[in-house]
Amino acid sequence: MTLFTPMLRASPLSEIFSDDNTLQGMLDFEAALALACAKCGVIPESVITVISSQCQADKLDPQALAQAAAGAGNLAIPLVKQLTANVKRQDEQAARYVHWGATSQDVIDTGLVLQLREAFLVSEVLIEQLIRALTEQIQHHQHSVMAGRTWMQHALPITFGLKLAGTLDALLRWQQRLREIKPRVLVLQFGGAAGTLASLKEQGITVAQALANALELHQADTPWHSQRDRLLESAAWFAGVASTLGKFASDFSLLMQTEVAEVGEPIAEGRGGSSTMPHKRNPVSCAAILTANTRIPGLMATMYASQNQQHERALGGWQAEWEVLPQLITLAGGVMQTSLELLNGMQVNTVKMRANLDITHGLIMAESVTLALAEFMGKQPAHHLVEQLCHRALDENQPLAALLAENPQVTPYLSLTQIEHLLDPQHALGSNDAFIRQVLARAAQQTRRVT
C-alpha cells in the first residue's frame, strides 16, 4: 500500500524495512556466518571472499524468492538456495559451505535484529529532535496562560508550556527506556535446527561468539527461537512512543477546533484543505498521527498473541511477526516524523487562549475565591456560596466578580481589589513554572549525556 506511505509512514524507518533491506539483513548474517566458521576452523578460509561477494541483495531475484517462499514456508529457504547457486557459479567448492550450521530462523531473526538496530539509531535521532523542538516551544510558551481542561471542560488555568512539558516528560522517559532495552534486544539468534548447534559439535559456542562479534551483536545465553520477549519489548517501545505523541495530537486537534482556535497546524499551500469547502483548514497532521495510533494497538495485540510459541520452533506465532512488527515500527516512525514537523511549524494563538479564559465570566477562578473565603467561614460553606454565585453568573450572563462584589456574605471579607486579584488567572498557576523548570532541566541533562 505504498500510496499511503507519504501520509502515514514518511520517516527513514520505512526504508529500513524495505524488501531490499530485509533481504540484505539476512545476507549480512550469511556473510558473517561464513567468516565466523572460517575463523574457528570449521570451514576453509578460502571460501570467505566468494561467499561474502554474493551476499548482496541486488544479486537475488526477489520475485522468484517470494514465489518460492510460499511453498517453503519462509524466505530464508529460497534465499539460501539462490545464494548457494550464485556462489556455485563462482566457486563450486565454496558453495558447499553456505549457511553452515545455521537454520532458517537464525537467518530471519538475526536479519530482523540488524534492521532493529538501524531502526533504533534512527529513532534515537528522531526522539532527540522531538525533545529539542518541545524544549524550544516550552521555553517560548512557559508563560502563555490558557484554560486547563478536565472531563473536556474548563478546570483551572495552566500554561501552554506546561501542557507541552507533559509530552516532553514522557518522551524523556521513552528516550531512557530505549537506552536500557538496546543491550537486551540487539542479540544474535543462532541455535541451529533445535537450538543446540549440534551440527557444529563442540565448536558451537565458539562459532556463536565469533558470529556475534562479526555482526556487533550481543550473544544470547540460549537461542531464543521460541522466546519472543525481546521483539515484544521492541514493539512496546515503538507503540508507547506513538501513543504519547497520539495524546499530544488528540489534544492539539481539540484546541484547533473552530470554537477554540488556540492552535493551528503549519501553514502551507494546499495543506488541510477540503475538496468542497474553501474555508477549511483541517488538522491533517493530527489525523495521520491518530490514524496510526488507531492501528498500532491491534498490531501490538498480535505481538502479544505471538508469544505463544510451541516447543523449540514455533508454528504460526513466529510467522505472524514478520509483517506485523515492521508495520508497527514504520507507523510509529511516521508518527514521530509527523509530530516533529507539527511541533516545528505549529501556530499558537495566545490572544485566543487568554480570551477563552474569560468565556465563563470568571468561573474558572471560582476555586481561588472559595479557598480565600474558606479561611473565614470554612470550606463547605464557602464552596456552597461560590457555587450558587457561579450558577447565577451563568443564568444571568453576569461576571462572577460583580456578583461577588455585591454579595453581603462576601464583602465583609474580600474587597473588590482582592476579588479582582483572585480572579486573575496569572495568580492561580500554582507550581506550573516549577514543573516546567524541572522537566527542562532533565531534558538539558539527558541531551548533554547524548552529545
CB neighbour list of residue 141: distance below 8 Å, 6 or more residues apart: 159, 160, 161, 164, 348, 350
Query: How confident is the model over 143-174, as pLDDT tens digits?
Result: 999 999 999 999 899 999 999 999 999 999 99
- Residue 275 is predicted with a pLDDT of 47
- Whether 231 and 331 map to the same domain: the answer is yes
- Whether 347 and 373 map to the same domain: the answer is no
CB neighbour list of residue 165: distance below 8 Å, 6 or more residues apart: 134, 138, 435, 436, 439, 440
- Whether 280 and 141 map to the same domain: the answer is yes
Residues of the chain short of pLDDT 70, as ranges, are 269-280, 449-451
Within a domain: residue 143?
yes
Query: How confident is the model over 370-389, as pLDDT tens digits?
Result: 999 999 999 999 999 999 99
- Whether 398 and 285 map to the same domain: the answer is no
Within a domain: residue 440?
no
| Cα–Cα dist 207/33, whole Å | 8
Nearest alpha-carbon partner for 175 in 265, 241, 230, 236? 241
What percent of the chain is helix, strand and coil (3-state, nearest 5)? 70, 5, 25
Burial of 433 (0-12, 13-18, 19+ CB in 10 A): middle
Nearest alpha-carbon partner for 336 in 110, 197, 134? 134
- Whether 49 and 196 map to the same domain: the answer is yes
> For residue 449, which amino acid is it?
R
- CATH code of the domain containing 259: 1.20.200.10
Domain with 126 in it: 4-352
| Cα–Cα dist 265/12, whole Å | 22
Locus of grid cell 520505512: 14
Last residue of a domain, one of 329, 352, 375: 352
Within a domain: residue 433?
no
- Measured from the Cβ of residue 13, the count of other Cβ atoms closer than 10 Å reads 25
Within a domain: residue 446?
no
- Whether 179 and 198 map to the same domain: the answer is yes
What residues act catalytically?
A: 274, 313
Decide if 150 contacts 251 (C-beta within 8 A).
no
- Whether 395 and 262 map to the same domain: the answer is no
Last residue of a domain, one of 352, 371, 391: 352
- Whether 344 and 375 map to the same domain: the answer is no
- Residue 46 is predicted with a pLDDT of 94
- Whether 208 and 85 map to the same domain: the answer is yes
Locus of grid cell 531464543: 224
> What is the chain's length?
451
**Number of structural domains found in the chain:** 2
- Whether 204 and 275 map to the same domain: the answer is yes
- Whether 86 and 223 map to the same domain: the answer is yes
Three cell numbers, residue 2: 505504498
Within a domain: residue 22?
yes
- Whether 300 and 382 map to the same domain: the answer is no
- Residue 450 is predicted with a pLDDT of 52
Last residue of a domain, one of 352, 369, 403: 352
pTM of the full structure = 0.91
- CATH code of the domain containing 395: 1.10.40.30
- Residue 271 is predicted with a pLDDT of 57
DSSP codes of every residue in 55-107: --GGGS-HHHHHHHHHHHSSSHHHHHHHHHHHHHHH-HHHHTTTTTT--HHHH
